[in-house]
Chain A
Amino acid sequence: MRYLPKSPSDREQMLAEIGVSSIDDLFACVPGEYRLSRMLDVPRQMAESEIVDQFRDYAARNAAGYASFLGAGAYQHYRPVIIDALVQRGEFLTSYTPYQAEIAQGTLQAIFEFQTMICELTGQEIANASMYDGSTGAAEAIMMSVRLTGRDETIIARSVHPEYREVVRTYGQHQGLVAHEVDFELASGRVDLKSLEAALTDKTASVVIQSPNFFGCIEDVDAIAEMVHKKGALLIVSIAEAISLGAVKPPSAADIVSMECQSYGVALSYGGPYCGVLATKEKFVRQMPGRLVGETTDTNGKRGFVLTLATREQHIRREKATSNICTNQALIALMCTVYLMVYGREGLKDLAYQNLAKAAYAAAEFGKAGEVLFAGTRTPRFNEFVLQTDDDPHDINRRLLEKKIMGGLPLKRWYPELGNAALWCVTEMNTRAEIDAAAATLNAGGASAHNRDKELVGQK
């Protein structure tokens, strides 16, 4: 086996040194009746070229060469090539969690830089080293709010990603968490402030909103924060599209920000691995789950970095820990760190700006074939919007697939009240030609009633 660095004579020699006659002697501790007497029924050993061929075959059976307007929590952005060049350095790729600070300063300093940039971007004071993803991060943020307030109810906006809400339910079900949902305004697509005010009680530990929300609408974070804080509860802002922070005001009024950083240079990779992160106020640090890197000095007074405040964590506190998280998403956080340095202070603005402009153009074009929802009240949007059509979006998408275009995500399974609606995402990766091609198909294939009406009006 090509990964094993031993010759048969090495093995013989080692067995002799141990003082046993065969390798089976070392497995004598496994009772005979449980020893596997046959070979495992898995595919035979393959050459590297065969493995590559097999995965090329897997790869060929998926969408390739399609224009995509899918977002909804996983975003298509350009990944600078230096990301993979750097994260594939063996010193990053094949190192462990940096417990031994003297020989892990590379990883530790990179995490410290990641934490710093997350603070800058989110308008928070501290950030952790990563969480599994945006969905589990939201659940951990809620449990953190429960510990901080001593209350056990949370209110989640229905405009938070439906899969995030499912994960929150799973996490909270046996921790005594009562989770309520608050609706969105049909006109604006944003959290219904009146319903939220009515739902807030002195048992509310936290309110969870997403901004930009699942429909791409930017919430009025400051107004919601004020309302939530009046009741002594905490505001958790979840961010799924992290590129928005290049153009959208950071949620500084939030108490905890739970962000999915996939947009920062992480491949779509069929949904993972991605990179969640929590950011919060300094005063809440003792209840923060996950790893934290801090600056300190060595015995000679030289600056260095260490994992710190470990007394929050499972390997020290065991059943009293803030979370059971151990392995997180370190290498993915490193990808994000490289990405954020590549684009930096100006590039993140330029990038966000292109997303805004492309999405605005697409919304205007697609709006000729349907109705862009939540647009009437001048709700600000980032790079996603909901398009309501007369035709079922599944039918529309079938027509688009013929043109090698993946259309918006149909929303009926989560939001039946929106009718024939789909969530479209447009990023800097979508060319005008792609947008125009999609618009042409939307308009051509069985023109929608909206379109016909408009034409009739035009004729009059």
Chain B
Amino acid sequence: MQNRIKKVSRHITQNEGLIFEKSSPGKKAYKMPPLDVPEVDVKSVLGDSAREDLGHMPEVSEIEIIRHFTRLSTWNYAIDLGMYPLGSCTMKYNARVNEFVSRLEGIGGAHPYQPESLSQGVMQVMYDVAQCLIEITGMDTITLQPAAGAHGEMTGLLLIRAYLDAKGEARKKILIPDSAHGTNPATAAICGYEVENIKSDPVTGMVDIAGLERQVTEDVAALMLTNPNTLGVFDQHIHKVADVLHAKGAQLYMDGANMNALVGKTRPGDFGVDLMHLNLHKTFSTPHGGGGPGSGPVACKKHFEPFLPTPVLVSKDGKLHFDYDRPQSIGRVRMWYGNYGMFVRALAYILANGPDGLKQTTEDAVLNANYIRAKLQDVYDLPYKTPSMHEVIFSDRLQTQKGVKTGDIAKRLIDYGFHPYTTSFPLIVPGALMIEPTESESKEELDLFIDAMRSIAAEVEEDPQYVLDAPHDTRVGRMDEVGAARKPILRWNPK
């Protein structure tokens, strides 16, 4: 079966133990400059609070650290190696100029408490990226403070709650479609709301308007909607959805995880959304970094402005400053101003694209997803025939007849040199294969992916066990996850 694999060849990778296993007393990777002030006696300065020793902290040399992490790095898959088609994650190219500019001395070295008069440049970055994001979303105002998408959701719901409280309306419920990301219900819970699920239309995957009308009462604070939704489907009745909510005084919150399908083509603020978060680490190309940092600005309509987290960046008399005097604010959601370094990178991305580049980016993202759909729909089941935008969702219905599930196909895809797509999500599609190629893939890379997926579909027919046993070519095989959870080993211990 190996000759079917075109994208990768086997090669040697280095073995590497844990750093603690290399540690030996006396090895060093640092040298302190000479102390230029009088010495102190630690014991007399700190008394009983003085520390005796640092236990099993490692002692290694610099070359060992370089090799350690370089070796570890070669065990990872990455966008820089190839297509990373995780649905809903928007694994696009992360430009290196973004990294470069975020490390310029006046930016990377800026202390968050340095005087505003000596911070006008870093504040201007915040101001400029905020203006761009407001324009892109079609909203009136924004807070950059939330540190990630889920944190943005929390900020958004707190804004809704503060706005409704100010009107004297203590509403209890948040409506969430069954296709939503897990963070949505988790966020509603920590904001003190009851979660009520709404069912999607079984044919189109969109919000069922008749059902929504029944569920929206005076007790509903908001609907949290992802648009395009997690099926990659743009909800064509979006304005109707907004009308139904607004008629009962409820708000429309949009989870902006899928904003990569919309930038430059349509604006949530124009189709009825009251507030939304963006994931700068998705749509605006700040690196995922193995799981963060993210950044989750919340853009909103004017009626939320008094409630924004403090401080709010304002421009006055040609100077930027932070306004802390905001009596109706929901308070801080994070210290200082947010994951600032991500604003720098997002702005650099926007400048590299310009209006034409942003639009082309969105078009290419949608083109790529539809190309995959067209090329795979004869071998994988397409549960929703509704037009796809930036991602396409298949199911494993045809393959389960041979006992092969989405997770198995995903593992086999690894052997073909690709990172798996998102498996088993959204929950409304049993055995989902959720594929988001992003705009960053060339036709050649997409063709290799399509070829791999078709080849696996053929393997399922010919030799399903071979697929069930995948991956075959990785450093490590499938992990004993049950054992890991039953008896957790969460740190290294000396033998």
Contacts and interface: CB of A to CB of B under 8 A. Distances in A.
Contact of A353 (B42, B97, B151): B42
B249 interface: no
Contact of A135 (B29, B332, B339): B332
Given A6-B364, A341-B19, A52 B101 contact: yes
A45 B353 contact: yes
Contact of A247 (B50, B73, B79, B443): B50
B359 A39 contact: yes
A315 to B, nearest CB: 4
B150 A105 contact: no
Interface in B332-354: 332-342, 344, 348, 350-354
Contact of B57 (A5, A15, A46, A117): A117
Given A11-B367, A100-B420, A401-B115, A271 B336 contact: yes
Interface in A13-29: 13-15, 17-20, 23, 26-29
Interface string A275-304: 000000000010000011111111110101
A73 B106 CA distance: 19
Contact of B106 (A63, A360, A409): A63
Contacts of B334: 132-133, 135-136, 167, 272
A357 B35 contact: yes
Given A134-B335, A319-B186, A269 B104 contact: no
Interface centre among B71, B122, B161 (most CB of A within 10 A): B122
Interface in B305-328: 309-310
B459 interface: no
Interface string A93-111: 1111110111111110111
Given A133-B335, A324-B190, A331 B476 contact: no
Contacts of A218: 46, 49
A214 B59 CA distance: 31
A366 B95 CA distance: 46
B373 to A, nearest CB: 8
Interface residues of A, number: 198
Contact of A115 (B69, B91, B375, B491): B491
A201 interface: no
A58 B125 contact: yes
Contacts of A113: 18-20, 492
Contacts of B462: none
A17 B354 contact: no
* B interface residue count range (under 10 / 10 to 19 / 20 to 34 / 35 or more): 35 or more
Nearest to B51: A249
B57 A59 contact: no
Given A34-B271, A36-B267, A102-B411, A58 B124 contact: yes
Interface in B395-443: 410-411, 414, 419-420, 425, 439-443
Contacts of B340: 269-273
A4 interface: yes
B265 A35 contact: yes
Contact of A17 (B371, B475, B479): B371
B374 A326 contact: no
Nearest to B53: A345
A116 interface: yes
B335 A42 contact: no
B399 to A, nearest CB: 19
Given A100-B419, A431-B36, A272 B341 contact: yes
B266 A345 contact: no
Contact of B477 (A136, A299, A323, A357): A299
Interface string A401-436: 100001001000000000000000000100110010
Nearest to B418: A103
28 contacts: A1-B353, A30-B265, A39-B355, A42-B136, A51-B101, A55-B348, A60-B121, A62-B119, A62-B121, A86-B73, A91-B77, A95-B76, A96-B291, A106-B69, A110-B69, A132-B339, A166-B332, A247-B51, A308-B490, A309-B488, A320-B189, A327-B291, A330-B289, A332-B289, A332-B293, A338-B65, A347-B28, A350-B30
Enumerate the 5 nearest inter-chain pairs by beta-carbon distance, A residue then B residue, closest first: A331-B289, A45-B354, A90-B80, A271-B336, A61-B121
Given A346-B59, A358-B35, A378-B47, 11 more contacts: A4-B439, A43-B132, A63-B111, A92-B76, A92-B78, A109-B72, A113-B18, A116-B56, A270-B110, A332-B293, A356-B42
